Structure 1
Amino acid sequence: MQKDPILKVTNLTQQFSSGDHTLTVIDDVSFSVQKGTSCSIVGPSGSGKTTLLGLCAGLDRPTSGQIILNGTNLNPLNEDQRAEIRNKHVGFVFQTFQLVPTLTALENVMVPLELRGEERSEVEHDAKDLLQDVGLGDRMDHYPAQLSGGEQQRVAIARAFINKPRILFADEPTGNLDTDTGSTIEKLLFDLNEAIGTTLVLVTHDLSLAKQCQRMISLENGQIFDDEWIADSQSAQLI
């Protein structure tokens, strides 16, 4: 049974000026992602993967084309309006973690819901549960500098799930991690994805991770050159 799209990208182009030249990073890309599915975006360095992910999440504005995220056209929205959409419906795991160094692990996870003005006691309860889920129940009061790279990434994942996002974007979620820690992070992503029903869209160089998704989109020179459905992915379901 076909699911409704939570993300629809139409004729998306992103260009940057470099001296007298125009650099086209994303070149007339169109695709959609259905609710509750998992999708990986792969391709060589410089193919536009991270740029595409940021555009889809509303972190940047495209040169042309349209992005509809969770039923909302992002094009006419200003930055504050796009930030509100992200806070309500989107989770994002950055390759560089983006944790606040002056906040503890627990406080970092609480940030998205505190920005909404939600009751602190409830937010703290949910954040503690998520940190337990990612295996950091005994590290909640530690600051980012006191955590390993893998532990920081787990905090980032817990933060991304605190608002129970409709869609989670992850940029190289295992790119800076050792094999064992990377495997743990992969399992966490798919376990949390399945438990909450969040759509997962991730950028990765790791083909073994990419093939765990139901779908794999390959980019080259800013264009889609392959779009593959993976029948035996670990998260496979009727789509």
Structure 2
Amino acid sequence: MSVQPMLKVERLTKTYAAAHGPLTVLKEVSFALAAGESLAIVGPSGSGKTTLLGLCAGLDQPSTGEVVLAGESLGRLGEDDRARVRNRHVGFVFQNFQLVPTLTALENVLVPLELRGEGGAAAEKDAGELLNRVGLGERFDHYPVQLSGGEQQRVALARAFINRPKILFCDEPTGNLDGDTAAAMANLIFGLNRERGTTLVLVTHDLALAGRCQRMLKLRSGAAIDGEPETLAGAARGR
């Protein structure tokens, strides 16, 4: 019996209306990822990386093609149901952190669970354990403005894992961090990915970071170079 992919993308295309006619930013991209696999999406600015990530996560809808996430075809769902799928199965880490400025570190981590109506002592315990895991055990009550960029990104990573996601989407997660802080964040992402068996989809300009993934999809002008993602020899050993 075949194993169902965690993420399946088939002939995904995205076209926008523009002043001089239709603008296609993504062209018939296809791939599939099994549970626990990691994929880096790389390419120059404007190649469609972030557009592809948003389509995979159901944040936007394709012009043509299909995304099947955790067994659900996103194109057949309304916005509320896509939000339900994201809340149940997906974690996000963004380049600009996207923390709520009026919430403490602990409260920011708890947001996904509270949206599911799963707050309380057990949730706070889980959030505290994750903040400890990312090295912020003494910063529970600090607000984002009181944290460095690296610390804010670690809060965002803890938040991404609080609902034990089946798949984690990262959009340039180290892009706003200095070298040492970026390396520490990468170690945390791949460490939690490995420990929890989470599928990882990572958009990055950093080829060293991309090389830590098991597979790599190269985009140029919205199209996948060489079709399917390439498998990176020895990548799993470097994670």
TM-score tier by shorter-chain length is: over 0.9
TM-score w.r.t. the length of structure 1 is 0.96
TM-score w.r.t. the length of structure 2 is 0.96
Q: Deviations over 1:17-46 (max 9, x none)?
A: 111321111111111111111110000000
Residues 167, 199 of structure 2: 8 Å contact kept? yes
Residues 42, 205 of structure 2: 8 Å contact kept? yes
Structure 1 residues 131 and 235, CA, compared in 2 at 3 Å: closer, same or farther?
farther
Q: Which runs of 5+ in 1 are unaligned?
A: none
Task: Please give the alpha-carbon distance, in whole angstroms, between the structure 2 residues aligned to 1:68 and 1:234.
Answer: 25
Task: Please give the alpha-carbon distance, in whole angstroms, between the structure 2 residues aligned to 1:219 and 1:154.
Answer: 28
* Structure 2 counterpart of 1:141: 141
1:231 Cα shift? 2.2
Q: Deviations over 1:178-224 (max 9, x none)?
A: 00000000000011011111001100000000000000110001011
Task: Please give the alpha-carbon distance, in whole angstroms, between the structure 1 residues aligned to 2:62 and 2:237.
Answer: 31
Q: Deviations over 1:124-146 (max 9, x none)?
A: 00000000000011111111111
Residues 214, 236 of structure 1: 8 Å contact kept? no
Give the secondary structure class of the aligned counterpart of 1:75: helix
Output aligned runs, 1:1-239, within 5 Å. Answer: 4-226=4-226, 227-234=229-236
Task: Please give the alpha-carbon distance, in whole angstroms, between the structure 1 residues aligned to 2:169 and 2:100.
Answer: 19
Runs of 4+ in 1 over 3 A off after TM superposition: 234-237
1:235 Cα shift? 5.2
Give the secondary structure class of the aligned counterpart of 2:62: coil
Aligned residues: 236
1:120 Cα shift? 1.1
Give the secondary structure class of the aligned counterpart of 2:87: helix
